[in-house]
Structure 1
Amino acid sequence: MQLTPDFAFAEVVGILDHLVDLGVSHLYLSPILEAMPGSTHGYDWSPPCRVSTGLGGLDGYRLLRAHARAVGIGIILDIVPNHVGVADARHNPWWADVLRNGADSAYAHYFDLDLHFGDGALCLPWLDADGDLSSLRLDDDGNLVLHERVLSTAEGTSHAGDDPAVVLGRQRYRLVPFTSMQIGYRRFLAVNDLAALRQEADDVFDATHAWLADLVADDLVDGVRVDHLDGLTDPIGYCRRLRAVIGERLLYVEKGLSVGERLDPALVVDGTTGYDALRVIEGAYTAASGTIELSETYQRITGVSGDGDELTARANDLRHVTLIDLFSDRVRRTTELFAAAAPDVPVHNLQQAVTTFICDDRLARPDYPALVDDVVAAIGRLRADNPSMSGALDVVADAFVHRDRAPEAIARLSEAIVAVTAKAFEDIGYHRTSRLVSTNELGCTPAVPSVNRTEFHTMFADRDAHWPRSLNALSTHDTKRSEDVRARIAVIAQTPQRWSVLVLTLWGVVPPPDDRTAYFLLQNVIGVWPQGSAPDDELRERLAGYARKVMREAGRISSWSTVDEAAESSIIDWLETLYVGLPADLIGAFVDVIADAGHDEAIARKVLSLTLPGVGDLYQGTQWWTDSLTDPDNRRPVRYTQPTDHPKLDAVRTALAVRRRSPEAFGSRGGYTDIRTKGANSTHVIAFSRDVDGEARAVVVAVRLAHTFRTHAAREDAVVPLPPGLWRDAVTGRDHEGRVTSAEILGDAPYALLELL
């Protein structure tokens, strides 16, 4: 649930009956603490910690808890320990005190301050590149106001009628251009309005978690989701402290994992928020052969290669540029820490080694104990390629092996890697490359777009053995596209030649002003195009807003810091030409070819996410078709009055009912067995059983790569060898046993759920 003042605790109470009908076990709420004025998401929360009055306050939350408990639904809360909102100091007394008193503030150690610049003053990179202060003003309370930002002033330094620039000069802070890289505080990634907190300090942890401890004491919460775990200095230590607060309640962490990387067992958590599962499910529905052809089309249209090797090379370059442009402060601070641990090594060599390691790193965050061998091996490869850095790289490697020698240095280095990777890949890179944009998703990598069935089953068998409570996500408030949009776009890889014809024809009919941007946007247009009609005014407006965000995130023809209105308008005008006449007919015809397969795969993916080892995460509204793109588009209000006679909703209801009827099989002690389908079309089926003590109790059969697997004849050539026993279909009521064709089990459906009689 994405809570807002318009959809608060009281409104959630109003849909509990619908959630009970679905079979939902827990509400999974976005942050509930008081946030910055006008916040629509809650991730810019503001101290002191208290439940948001706009959502209903503590009494409203207690009432929601009581109603939910009465119908058997628990509550998991999203908590945000990494950062706090600082845009308006009037609503953040901790930050206001730091602004007034600088390093002498009682709250200075709450924040990760860097007073290296400005003669000990706190530098705030909130000015435009030209450093213009003309918009700075004083409000009636003597605060400095810069556009929407409000800054408190020290006592006695601000009087009515004073020149704002003069008042600024009296403060313990300085306003500097964002391009200066004189950043006086660690931020959440590169977001100036979110200041990082030092959760490693005992009093900071206590001040930010006392409210949660109170809820736990009153049994008002069943678990928590930790936002941006890897942004913390000490993720493992933090989770141990949090575990002590919440006891055995569920504990999920938002954490990225690179391809092949496993969650460190030192984390005392129940699992991740599910992006690792999303990657594997997405990869299983991405045709490997088709992506090869799409690479050729992408290069032909844009002049840029979209294959794995070229993407990796560009990714390294992009990380380096991002590091220098946005995070040079973190390089400097990390280098200083390594220099203190190795004074005999030249500082410039250490800085070079730090920069090289950050730009080459392949792990989500490298300082987890279980990854030390991977880190040492990676540094060994860097040493071989960069012999002049050997001594400095040895210092870095030694710090990872001997954790007591420079613990803060490797923590800083690792946190910098998280920030650079998130900004360079997810924000910039995923909006620049577009061989197949369904793979440009959180948890995924467009360089490795596909996952075969062996990899799929290996991953989920491991999940069953080690992290059976981990979440399986398909859509979240942060995903770049909804699961249904991704499912349809992924079908393009099953029809690469038709796609190539469509693109070449459109480029001839309505040549775009920028090939790379247009190629990216066209796939998203295909993903949301309504079957049987052209986009209406609302969808056109949403696509225009999305296009602006894409261009600014990519930073090629426009950017957030230097908006090019003309370039943006030319692209949006081009989009408008697609909605009418011949272009609309061409796009509509292509959508007609792939839409049914996209629907089948969207339903099949949903069933998998709810029945594979782990716990299914059902993002708000995704029980129906959802055509959402990235935020804020995916946080639009959900219309809960939609019909409940819907194929996707039926699949959700059925899957959760099967889970409830076999709790041992789907629980943390249940088993998971791959069922190897046979026949010429066997690769079009994913099948497995959920077991109890080695005996299969439920069987799941789901179609994949469905474009050429929708006919009876095609499904006759995929045979499912069922486990011993008589199996009843939870949807049709038909019974099956032995070796059965997919045509018999599935009919024309995208999935089947069988229960042992």
Structure 2
Amino acid sequence: MIPASTYRVQLRPEFTFADAAAIADYLRELGVGALYASPVLDALAGSVHGYDVVDPTKARPELGGEAGRAELAQRLREAGLGLVVDIVPNHMLVAEPKANAWWWDVLKHGRESAYAGYFDIDWSRDRITVPVLADDSALSELTVEGDELVYYDHRYPIAPGTGDGTPQEVHARQHYELMAWRREAAELNYRRFFDVTALAGVRVEDPTVFAATHGEVLRWIGDGDVTGLRVDHPDGLADPGDYVRRLRESAPNAWLVIEKILHPGERLPQSWPVDGTTGYDALWAIAGVFVDPDGEAGFTRLADELGVPTDFDDVEETARRMVTDKILVAEVRRIAALLEGVDVDLARAAVAETMIAFPVYRSYLPEGGDHWAAAIEKAMARRPDLMLALIELDQQVRAGGELATRIQQTSGMVVAKGTEDTTFYRYTRFAALNEVGGTPDRFGLDVAEFHRLAAERAAGQPASMTTLTTHDTKRSEDTRARMAALSELPGEFAAAVRRWSARHGIDEPTLNLLAWQTLVGAWPIGPQRLRDYLDKASKEAKLRTTWTDHDEQFEAAVAAWPAEVLGDNALAADVEAFVARVRDAGWSNSLGQKLVQLTAPGVPDVYQGTELWDFSLVDPDNRRLVDYAERRATLDRIRAGELPPVDETGAAKLLVVHRALTLRRDRPELFTGYRPLHAEGPAAEHVLAFERGGGLITVATRLPVKLARSGWRDTVLPLPPGKWTDVLTGRPVGSTALADLLEVYPVALLVKGAS
């Protein structure tokens, strides 16, 4: 069942099934088609996101368990809403073994466990490596309590008949080996989620494992309680294509979208029976068309002046190489060991170089062979000394088998960790572009290309999700929209950054530039939120400090920076004045990109709370609880006829969301096809407009800072024949002049014949 739209909620112990059920009526009145929930299967106690699943056979007790889930499904049905559930097929949490009965059994019985084949373990070492000790000498600190081996708060099972002797003697007999945590990068022998050792890879390619991990969710679908699935991280699976085909066979009528990151120009394999992606490709296009390409030179000059690198390819290669050489060493070694007839050192170098060179997250051989070929070709150009090893790698991978599977699985880990989680925090020239699925070295998107991409989506995947904010985005849509306005003021922003840095600069250029952009984008922001963000950003960048190797002095300086800046009254006033300079433009961009997302081809998702202004940053900042009482009150006023001004309350955004979603739900015939419309006149470049269904027109303002300097003048938007009404204001369209059409709001949603 394809929903008209979705509304993403983050379930957690503080926002349960019952809390989600309590907003069902609000979502219906807002115009939403389906509630889209974060993972609902049993997860680690206290988890605020649910991706650390410990038992996929039951609804999470902390959320209300099976009774709460069933009640939520019933409430949604009564409200006429679908339910889309986020599932996690790639991994399970193993950091607390006792919480995961399957993993506990594997640790206890080793290869003889009934669940040994459930997890992706390399048994060539014979024992499962568990990197948890402070250092190797900590083995002396083990104790035995009953039938458990204990290391402080960590508990592990003792295999039957092996509990006699000292704790160290007992440990030596187990099917697992406790080791120093710093050895994990090189010696871990189970596949994990990226570099997260706490999450072990699951072998859903095995039909038995698929049935065990998906049975409960598929039961909900069969009962009609769940109408759609969002699949987390399919690129980590052995064979994503086979997986989604099996999933489609098991749930033929469910709406099925996958969290697949598509680079510009990349398309989903044609053989995959899915409705589309979770929308990062749409995010890139929608956000990009509101960025001014003319601002690139000014931001590049500023970055160069501050010592921030501006060669994206170089930054990205360096970051990816750091991942293969220091973080995913065990994974590279495991793959290289499968390459036959090649010296082990050359094999490792060839495997690493190929993954570093990947133009996309991964290939899906035999489909997408051009991406694999491009990676091999680039690796050969960079390392001609590896030519023979790379040729052999190419031939053996194309022949299929485990080598092909593992290098494809792992390339996505290298790209994600090297690009998204490292480069995007190092290449901070213009951070609004540093988004999941984005290309920060490409400064904006022109209107013609936006239209081309939208038309392709309408023709090829009209049921694909579109998004502007997710739990994984680097910043919320409204923060990004305000930062986009900076692209129109490169000189003024550069001058401001020079002033501010002279008073309170951070002693690391990339973080310094990122910090000032973030402060402007998220203003007003308290010191604690800013401190938490900068702490994460500095550790993700891995330049002066990391999550595991701390520069305590640098971290202390970064932690003190927010309070110093916000406590400097003169500087804070200067920042506030600059924010006022771009505030209205940011609001205009926010309304424009939101209306475009909600009405363009695809199934739009509204991330929790973003129906009002939301200036959140990366997680966990974007997972804060939402004030639904405020949103209900605002919606009630709008439904009663209020036309709110564009101001700090964000009510104008909720108006746009409500009217667009309601129209999508009630008149689906309007949301078919796609036809670009073009303005005429001196300010034509400031219009993004398109027609859908032969009776709906979206109009959005772009580059509002420049527009304000000269106004619309005699720019017009020629409309197709007929009488048109702007459903945002209720006004009939009496003129095609943009000055009249956008007199009330910087956006318009026109419907033919509406009254």
TM class, shorter-length: over 0.9
Aligned equivalent of 2:516: 522
1:548 is aligned to 2:535: yes
Contact 1:176–1:182 (CA under 8 A) maintained in structure 2? no
Q: Could you tell me which of 687, 700, 706 is aligned with 1:685?
A: 687
Q: Alpha carbons of 1:519 and 1:373: their partners in 2 closer, same or farther (altered >3 Å)?
A: closer
Query: How far does residue 701 in structure 1 lie from its aligned partner after superposition?
Result: 0.3
Distance 1:73 1:749 in 2: 30
Q: 1:12-411 residue pairs with structure 2 within 5 A? A: 12-47=20-55, 49-117=57-125, 120-128=126-134, 130-133=135-138, 136-138=141-143, 140-146=145-151, 148-158=153-163, 164-180=167-183, 181-301=186-306, 303-306=307-310, 310-339=311-340, 343=341, 345-383=342-380, 386-399=383-396, 402=398, 405-411=399-405
Distance 1:706 1:742 in 2: 13
1:613 partner letter: P
Q: Alpha carbons of 1:80 and 1:686: their partners in 2 closer, same or farther (altered >3 Å)?
A: same
Q: Alpha carbons of 1:156 and 1:172: their partners in 2 closer, same or farther (altered >3 Å)?
A: same
1:392 partner letter: A
Query: How far does residue 137 in structure 1 lie from its aligned partner after superposition?
Result: 4.6
Query: How far does residue 74 in structure 1 lie from its aligned partner after superposition?
Result: 0.6
Query: How far does residue 570 in structure 1 lie from its aligned partner after superposition?
Result: 1.0
2:417 partner letter: K
CA displacement, residues 293-351 of structure 1 (integer Å, 9 cap, x when unaligned)? 111101211x1332xxx111121121111111111222222223332xxx3x5554443
1:251 partner letter: L
Contact 2:588–2:746 (CA under 8 A) maintained in structure 1? yes
Q: Alpha carbons of 1:377 and 1:32: their partners in 2 closer, same or farther (altered >3 Å)?
A: closer
Q: Could you tell me which of 700, 710, 715 is aligned with 2:712?
A: 715
CA displacement, residues 467-517 of structure 1 (integer Å, 9 cap, x when unaligned)? 101111111111111111111112111111111111111122234333332
Distance 1:317 1:718 in 2: 48
Contact 2:468–2:597 (CA under 8 A) maintained in structure 1? yes
Q: Alpha carbons of 1:6 and 1:382: their partners in 2 closer, same or farther (altered >3 Å)?
A: closer
SS in 1 for 2:664: helix
Contact 2:144–2:167 (CA under 8 A) maintained in structure 1? no
Distance 1:388 1:124 in 2: 36
2:353 partner letter: T
Contact 2:362–2:412 (CA under 8 A) maintained in structure 1? yes
SS in 1 for 2:368: helix
Aligned equivalent of 1:458: 452
Query: How far does residue 651 in structure 1 lie from its aligned partner after superposition?
Result: 0.6
Query: How far does residue 561 in structure 1 lie from its aligned partner after superposition?
Result: 0.6
Contact 1:48–1:92 (CA under 8 A) maintained in structure 2? no
Q: Alpha carbons of 1:702 and 1:139: their partners in 2 closer, same or farther (altered >3 Å)?
A: farther
SS in 2 for 1:519: helix
1:751 partner letter: V
1:743 is aligned to 2:753: no
SS in 1 for 2:265: coil
CA displacement, residues 504-549 of structure 1 (integer Å, 9 cap, x when unaligned)? 111222343333322211211111112xxxx4xxx21111122221
Distance 1:144 1:626 in 2: 47
The TM-score normalised by the length of structure 2 is: 0.92
Aligned equivalent of 1:418: 412
SS in 1 for 2:537: helix
Aligned equivalent of 2:574: 586
Q: 1:569-584 residue pairs with structure 2 within 5 A? A: 569-580=556-567, 581-584=569-572
Contact 1:87–1:150 (CA under 8 A) maintained in structure 2? no
Distance 1:683 1:136 in 2: 69
Distance 1:610 1:552 in 2: 35
SS in 1 for 2:660: helix
SS in 2 for 1:313: helix
Q: Alpha carbons of 1:562 and 1:393: their partners in 2 closer, same or farther (altered >3 Å)?
A: closer
SS in 2 for 1:699: strand
Distance 2:700 2:140 in 1: 59
2:471 partner letter: H
Query: How far does residue 126 in structure 1 lie from its aligned partner after superposition?
Result: 2.7
Distance 1:246 1:69 in 2: 19
CA displacement, residues 545-568 of structure 1 (integer Å, 9 cap, x when unaligned)? 222212222222221112233211
Q: Which moved more, 1:329-338 or 1:580-589?
A: 329-338
Contact 1:76–1:223 (CA under 8 A) maintained in structure 2? yes
SS in 2 for 1:638: coil
Q: Alpha carbons of 1:424 and 1:382: their partners in 2 closer, same or farther (altered >3 Å)?
A: closer
Query: How far does residue 379 in structure 1 lie from its aligned partner after superposition?
Result: 2.8
Q: Alpha carbons of 1:520 and 1:63: their partners in 2 closer, same or farther (altered >3 Å)?
A: same
2:513 partner letter: Y
SS in 2 for 1:641: helix
Contact 1:658–1:730 (CA under 8 A) maintained in structure 2? no
Q: Alpha carbons of 1:297 and 1:69: their partners in 2 closer, same or farther (altered >3 Å)?
A: same
Query: How far does residue 621 in structure 1 lie from its aligned partner after superposition?
Result: 0.4
Distance 2:110 2:436 in 1: 38
Give unmatched runs, 5+ long, in structure 1.
none
Q: Could you tell me which of 597, 616, 625 is aligned with 1:628?
A: 616
The TM-score normalised by the length of structure 1 is: 0.92
Query: How far does residue 424 in structure 1 lie from its aligned partner after superposition?
Result: 1.2
Distance 2:365 2:737 in 1: 46
SS in 2 for 1:258: coil
Distance 2:189 2:619 in 1: 29
Q: Alpha carbons of 1:167 and 1:369: their partners in 2 closer, same or farther (altered >3 Å)?
A: same
Runs of 4+ in 1 over 6 A off after TM superposition: none
CA displacement, residues 86-120 of structure 1 (integer Å, 9 cap, x when unaligned)? 11111111111111122232211111112344xx2
CA displacement, residues 36-82 of structure 1 (integer Å, 9 cap, x when unaligned)? 12212111111251011111111211111111111110100111000
SS in 2 for 1:671: coil
Query: How far does residue 465 in structure 1 lie from its aligned partner after superposition?
Result: 0.6
Distance 1:745 1:250 in 2: 37
Query: How far does residue 387 in structure 1 lie from its aligned partner after superposition?
Result: 4.1
Q: Alpha carbons of 1:689 and 1:369: their partners in 2 closer, same or farther (altered >3 Å)?
A: farther
Distance 2:116 2:376 in 1: 36
2:739 partner letter: A
Distance 1:330 1:378 in 2: 18
SS in 2 for 1:478: coil
Distance 2:553 2:139 in 1: 26
Query: How far does residue 371 in structure 1 lie from its aligned partner after superposition?
Result: 1.6
SS in 2 for 1:590: helix
Contact 2:140–2:168 (CA under 8 A) maintained in structure 1? no
Query: How far does residue 141 in structure 1 lie from its aligned partner after superposition?
Result: 4.8
Give unmatched runs, 5+ long, in structure 2.
1-8, 638-650
Q: Alpha carbons of 1:549 and 1:142: their partners in 2 closer, same or farther (altered >3 Å)?
A: farther
CA RMSD of aligned residues (A): 2.1
Aligned equivalent of 2:697: 699
CA displacement, residues 582-615 of structure 1 (integer Å, 9 cap, x when unaligned)? 1101101100000111111111111111101001
Select the structure with the greater relative contact order (CA < 8 A; seq sep ≥ 6): 2
Query: How far does residue 657 in structure 1 lie from its aligned partner after superposition?
Result: 2.3
